[in-house]
Structure 1
Amino acid sequence: MGCGFCEAALSNTVGTLVVNCVVKPVGRQLDYVCRFHDNVEKLREKKRELADARKRLLFKIEEAKNRLLLIENDVQNLQSRADETLSDMGTLEEEIQLNKRCLNWCPNWSWRYQLSKKAMKKIQDISELLDKFGQLGLVGYPAPTALPTIDFLCSKEFVFSKSSETAFYQIIEALKDENINMIGLWGMGGVGKTTLAREVGSQAQKLILFDKVVITTVSQKPNLERIQDQIAQYIGFGMKNEQGRRSEQELWLRLKNEPRILIILDDIWESINLKEKIGIPIGDDHKGCKVLLTTRRQQVCRAMDCQNVVQLDCLDDDEAWTLFEKKAGLDDFSDDSIKILANQIVRKCRGLPTAIVPLGSALKGKTHHEWQAAYRRLKDRRLTEIEDVNEENAYVCLEASFDYLKNMETKTCFLLCSLFPEDYEIYVENLVGYAWGLELYKGVDSIKDVRSEVLASIENLKNSGLLLDCGESVGTLAAAKENKVAKQNLQN
């Protein structure tokens, strides 16, 4: 009885081993042969899926690079694996195609087995890759050096005047004071508040007073969403909701994570609740966050509870002459008659850098007769009866610089810039489109040549001190942005 039981058990064991070790493997090998065409078709389908996934990934990578993001290592590795797999697929498909006729009419079972097995292996590899594509997160991240910095905006030719030097050190001392978190810098339009604020920001960072310095322009009609975006750019904060916006509270919480940050709000015209309207933590909300605002109106500083208010005055006569002399290229060897006219012109500028710089640049290298004509124009246009310094002087000086532009196309290009909203970043391609549509450059028949003409006009305007360079965009000087120059010349 026991022996019979042992014999049956042994027989079952041997049978199982035969099935597992012989029958199943042979079945798998035969399956490769029998399902050859199905495997080849499935392989082609997987290849199409991988090609589509790779295309989507490349689009995301390109989009990330356009936003100055660095690409994650695992994303680059996945792209490389996809490229390599698709390349291998090409080789395998060529092998299948070359032997297709022979396999149909004179089957070589060994051949068919090997190719089908390769196809199944490749299908498995592609499926694993597609799974990784599905699990992929963000493709890029911001590089620390890609974030904007205050140094990019600073003028390399910044020169201290007595007033700006005094204001500079007053602001720096206030920034060092732990009990001061809101500082106001005020002065008339064109006196140099923006330039000084940028210099303060740059030096404050070099003195390691702050880890980050942010600057944004507020202007007469504040675009609060744009202001938030500019602040977010400086701190690498890209989170937005489904509508493409971020809430004031989200920005407020993110800024609180910055241990030491200086936010420069340039050109404020009215009081703004920084916490509710923008999302800036100040005072007890965040001791490490300080705000420096610039404004033309002293009452704005009071309304926004600035603990330290600094006034920036115009240049004195000697400082105004030194700046004009530098911009106009005058020296000890210049003609005395031109120097006499230059002194008269400088006095008309009333110490305003925004008037001195463009006018000096416009007259650089001009003849005595051109200097005389410039002085007559300044004298005859609403200046003879003006006793007090006021903002109108800057517009008149800018108009004189405008009159000295050599050709009408460049003047019209400036007028186009002046018609954009205040503090608007004017992109070159926008000007090219308007110039092309208005047929500004007569006899120019291609968009490529129009772009070249526009770029030449822009360089001329920048060299004349009428346009500011903003990297990929250009912007009119603050005085020109008021559109008065444009309107006066359009009327003429």
Structure 2
Amino acid sequence: MTFDSRIYTIKNIMDTLRNPNVRMVGIYGMAGIGKTMLAKEVARQAMEEKLFDKVVKVTISQTPDVKNIQREIAEHLGLKLDEESISVRAERLSRRLGQEKKILVVLDDVWKKLELHEVGIAFGNDKNGCKILLTSRFEDVVQSEMGADKIFLLGVLYDNEAKDLFGKIVGDSMMNNPEFQPLASDIIKECEGLPIAIETVANALKNRKSPLWENALQELRRSVPTNIKGMHEKVYSSIKLSYNYLESDEAKLMLLFIGLYPEDYYIAFITFFICGIGLELFQGIKGLEEADNKVVTLVESLKTCCFLSDGPLPRTVTMHDVIQDVVISIGSQEKQMFCFRNYDPEVEDSKKLKDATAISLLYSTDDSRLPERLKCPQLKFLLVLCYDLSLWSDRYSQMSNHFFEEIRILEF
């Protein structure tokens, strides 16, 4: 949908990108406000108007992996980086970027200062046609830490825009029904103009009876504070509401397990299939075709509720980073499921590990290693994933003989 509140911001950003004296533009706003979508639209219009010859977009995320960022940018440029040294890779990437006359590099979801020269994002003083567009939840990151020349705050939707978005999802028959109209107005108001909150709530309530709308309104009014950095309480409560309204425990459990995978991960259907085997979701099912139909049904139900969206490849899906933040929070509170990035046994909460039923160990740095012994006696699900396969072969391929000694009931 096209919103007037966004059109004005996009116009100003486009005008700024045309300014030869501006090298870096920043967009900031709370989680779920639509920064990524806005950046995509800016990039699309910029290419349409031929402001740039090429657009390169890469997600930075809360735990940036420099090598992975370098690899993604290099792939867009047709460059293969085989070197292990980050500085050597940065030098090669910088030289390749220097060959571009007009390029826009979009750095999405920046949480803290990223040293651009360490990555290799440098154009030279004469490259006025090459620019950077970055998005972040935090004003100080785009302005002070990254030093953007011009920054834009992305605010909430106007009241009429929020109503139009909600109505488009639930349908005219419900919006025009006197039984639902006052409830719809109050629910939209509780979402406070946050697009992701409106979308998830509307999808959860579509085709539902009025008592569920009444209950949804009360749950939104009892917004649960959360300690997720940059997360508005209404965003959290709306996604939690949508989770509660999932029709099957199977879908809920599958969602919680998929949330343990890395941020912005392309999740293939085979992953759901493997998880389904471990979760014993295929009881009574005969043959792979029936099992595949079960997986497709679960995935489609999660897509319908906006927890997942189609990935870039066939039979893949992705999860929005804000959705994943909430899913991880729900999993840790309700099922003792935890996601550890660059796990360090000396700093992790021993009680958390003792009670954990599922954990993922996600590694992205050169100095990380698997622990000698994983002290998780209640663990049923274990995911170990390294972003860099060269690190995996050198450092993680051989587990200690004592690694599983205190894991007694592991299922998959």
Classify the TM-score, shorter chain: 0.7 to 0.9
1:476 aligns with 2:319: yes
1:226 aligns with 2:63: no
Structure 1 equivalent of residue 15 of structure 2: 173
Structure 2 equivalent of residue 392 of structure 1: 233
Q: 2:332 is matched by which residue type in structure 1?
A: K
Question: Counterparts of 1:438 and 1:332 in 2: how far apart (Å)?
Answer: 37
SS in 1 for 2:125: helix
Structure 1 equivalent of residue 330 of structure 2: 485
Structure 2 equivalent of residue 428 of structure 1: 269
Question: 1:80-131 deviations in whole A, cap 9, x for unaligned?
Answer: xxxxxxxxxxxxxxxxxxxxxxxxxxxxxxxxxxxxxxxxxxxxxxxxxxxx
Q: Which runs of 5+ in 2 are unaligned?
A: 338-412
Select the residue among 259, 268, 286 that pairs with 2:127.
Answer: 286
Larger relative helix fraction: 1
Offset at residue 259 of structure 1 (A): 1.4
SS in 2 for 1:434: helix
Question: Counterparts of 2:333 and 2:164 in 1: how far apart (Å)?
Answer: 30
Offset at residue 308 of structure 1 (A): 0.7
Greater mean alpha carbon deviation, residues 313-322 or residues 172-181: 313-322
Question: Counterparts of 1:322 and 1:234 in 2: how far apart (Å)?
Answer: 37
SS in 2 for 1:284: coil
Question: Counterparts of 1:242 and 1:390 in 2: how far apart (Å)?
Answer: 36
Structure 2 equivalent of residue 81 of structure 1: none
For residues 198 and 259 of structure 1, do their structure 2 counterparts lie closer, same or farther at Cα, with a shift above 3 Å needed? Answer: same
Provide runs of 4+ in structure 1 moved above 6 Å: 242-246
Select the residue among 231, 240, 249 that pairs with 1:408.
Answer: 249
Q: 1:258 is matched by which residue type in structure 2?
A: E
Question: 1:136-178 deviations in whole A, cap 9, x for unaligned?
Answer: xxxxxxxxxxxxxxxxxxxxxx42241x222211110111011
Question: 1:41-84 deviations in whole A, cap 9, x for unaligned?
Answer: xxxxxxxxxxxxxxxxxxxxxxxxxxxxxxxxxxxxxxxxxxxx
1:461 aligns with 2:302: yes
For residues 333 and 411 of structure 1, do their structure 2 counterparts lie closer, same or farther at Cα, with a shift above 3 Å needed? Answer: closer
Contact in 1 for aligned 2:57/2:73 (Cα 8 Å): yes
Structure 2 equivalent of residue 334 of structure 1: 176
Question: 1:305-337 deviations in whole A, cap 9, x for unaligned?
Answer: 111111100112221111111111135873112
Normalised TM-score (structure 1): 0.63
Question: Counterparts of 1:233 and 1:356 in 2: how far apart (Å)?
Answer: 36
Question: Counterparts of 1:263 and 1:406 in 2: how far apart (Å)?
Answer: 41
1:306 aligns with 2:151: no
SS in 1 for 2:108: strand
Q: 1:410 is matched by which residue type in structure 2?
A: A
Structure number with larger C-alpha Rg = 1
Q: Percent identity?
A: 34
Contact in 1 for aligned 2:71/2:81 (Cα 8 Å): no
RMSD: 2.4
Question: Counterparts of 2:96 and 2:106 in 1: how far apart (Å)?
Answer: 17
Q: Which runs of 5+ in 1 are unaligned?
A: 1-157, 384-388
1:364 aligns with 2:206: yes
How many residues align? The count is 328
Question: Counterparts of 1:169 and 1:348 in 2: how far apart (Å)?
Answer: 29
Contact in 1 for aligned 2:54/2:103 (Cα 8 Å): yes
Offset at residue 382 of structure 1 (A): 3.1
Normalised TM-score (structure 2): 0.74
